[in-house]
Amino acid sequence: MLRSEMLIAMLQAATRVTDKSHRVWTLLSLALRMAQNIGLLENSAITNVRPFEKEQRRRLLMAIGLLDAQAALEKASEPMIIEAWLPPSVVPLNINDADISLSTTEEVTARQDFTDSTFLVLTSKTQILARFLCFSASPNPQANEWKERQSRLNTFQQEIAPLFATNNLETMNSAWYWYTKSTAECIVAWMQLFTVRPLRQQIGRSAPVVHHADLLKLGVKVLEETRKIVRDPRGIPWRWYGGFFAPWHALAVSLAELCVCDDTYLLEACWPIIQVSFFRMNDIVPEHNGESVWEPMLRLMRRAEQKMESIKSRGAGIIALGLAIQLGSEQGESQQSFVAEDLTPPWIPPNDSGNQPPTGDVFDIWPDLRDSTVNLMTDMSSTSADEIAWASWEDFINDLNQTDGVMAFS
């Protein structure tokens, strides 16, 4: 039965990348039912199996769980597997392939550095955290507390950081190490976005107090880094995996924050990346007869386009006024002067926020797995800016929950 279950999971994974029909969901339901029949969800209670089979059972359950989480995120619906069914004991061991075999009789000890299984451990821990942060099925009450959400993310980063410790130069220079570490950094950043911009509706709860410029920067940075991983030649062997997760949530966060941002220099830096990501995801995010996140995303994109058009119009008006003043000065009608260089780039109007043009890397925010966690929240009191930005996000979530075929997060 275990082999049949593995074949179903592999078939489901293969069709997941290319098949946009409901066949994927049907196979996933079948795989989960078979997993229940062979006791995969009671792994911790099973003691009469060899270490190799026990490890295979862990890996199979987490593979099904990953597909389940992906399907739920894709359609903004609830997963079939809830957080309570995935305790830490079901996470696969961080071991090399040579550490275990069919003839192994003694329990294998997990390693504390980078191994052949590190990517699997990473994705397993990620989906457990994602169920806590994103989904409302059998919700953990702590999932509604902003500080607890941030604390869970901090713990997650502390757990995965040691997995990338290695003194082996060959390993550090390998494409597999680069791909796994780059993916881990994107995951930490992505989970940070989920921490302060959840998918479930937060009825009656106050807005999280965040650094809004950093939130916009991080959202755009996730889009850019995800695109870099896909395009980098080192990642070609695993490029198919990129078809599993389109970072539409990061795009939605970026668009919602852009709609309420007044830093025109930051907007100018973010907008081209957002546009490229939007059109790229337009081909990636499946639209099952309207049962997807894309309809609300289209409406959010239109709001963002209107915001950028209004800024461009204001910039054009300022340029026209400046040219008129300059022309009048040349004709002796005015002694005022206008310096075109003051408008850089030419369509950007004076910054409403009082910020100055950036001098370094605009997106100077990214998690360091070894040293620091990106924490977007502050201990300051909530401001009108927090409320406005939160309202922008809630508008999108409400729109998402009202879309036909999308199961509401409550």
Burial class (CB in 10 A: 0-12, 13-18, 19+), 345: exposed
Instruction: Measure the CA–CA gap between 291 and 129, rounded to whole angstroms.
Output: 25
Omega into 345 within 30° of 0, i.e. cis? yes
Same domain for 55 and 1: yes
Number of domains the chain contains: 2
Cα 254 to chain center, whole Å?
11
pLDDT for position 204: 65
Query: Three-state DSSP class for 210?
Result: strand
- Of 150, 173, 196, the residue at which a domain comes to its end is 173
Looking at residue 192, its pLDDT comes to 93
**Same structural domain for residues 142 and 220?**
no
The answer on 395 and 316 residing in a single domain is yes
- Please indicate, yes or no, whether residues 147 and 242 belong to a single structural domain of this protein: no
**Do the beta carbons of residue 148 and residue 200 sit within 8 Å?**
no
Last residue of a domain, one of 173, 190, 218: 173
Residue 302 lies in a domain: yes
In this structure, the answer to whether residues 224 and 92 fall within a common structural domain is no
Asked if residue 134 is part of any domain, the answer here is yes
Residues 221 and 323 in one domain: yes
Of 303, 298, 207, the closest CA to residue 256 belongs to 303
150 in the same domain as 2:
yes
Q: Determine the pLDDT at residue 111.
A: 93
H helices, E strands: number in the chain: 12, 0
Instruction: Assess whether 221 and 108 both reside in one domain.
Output: no
Of 219, 213, 216, whose CA–CA distance to 354 is shortest?
Answer: 213
Is there a single domain that holds both residue 217 and residue 169?
no
Q: Is 368 helix (H, G, I), strand (E, B) or coil?
A: strand
Whether 306 maps to a domain, the answer reads: yes
Q: Are residues 126 and 256 in the same domain?
A: no
Q: Establish if 347 belongs to a structural domain.
A: yes
Any domain includes 124:
yes
Under-50 pLDDT residues of the chain: 1, 137-138, 288-290, 317-321, 323, 325-327, 330, 332-353, 405, 407-410
Q: Estimate to the nearest angstrom the gap between the alpha carbon of 10 and the chain centroid.
A: 24
Beta partners for 372?
368
pLDDT of residue 335: 40
- Give yes or no: residues 252 and 325 share one domain: yes
Q: Which domain holds residue 214?
A: 209-410
Among residues 173, 200, 229, the one where a domain terminates is 173
Radius of gyration of the chain (CA): 24
Domain assignment of residue 100, yes or no: yes
Per-residue model confidence (pLDDT) at position 140:
64
**Nearest Cα to 194, choosing from 129, 140, 276, 257?**
129
Q: Determine the pLDDT at residue 407.
A: 46
pLDDT of 174: 95
- pLDDT for 328: 53
Residue 164 lies in a domain: yes
pLDDT of residue 373: 63
Looking at the structure, tell me whether residues 167 and 243 fall in a common domain: no
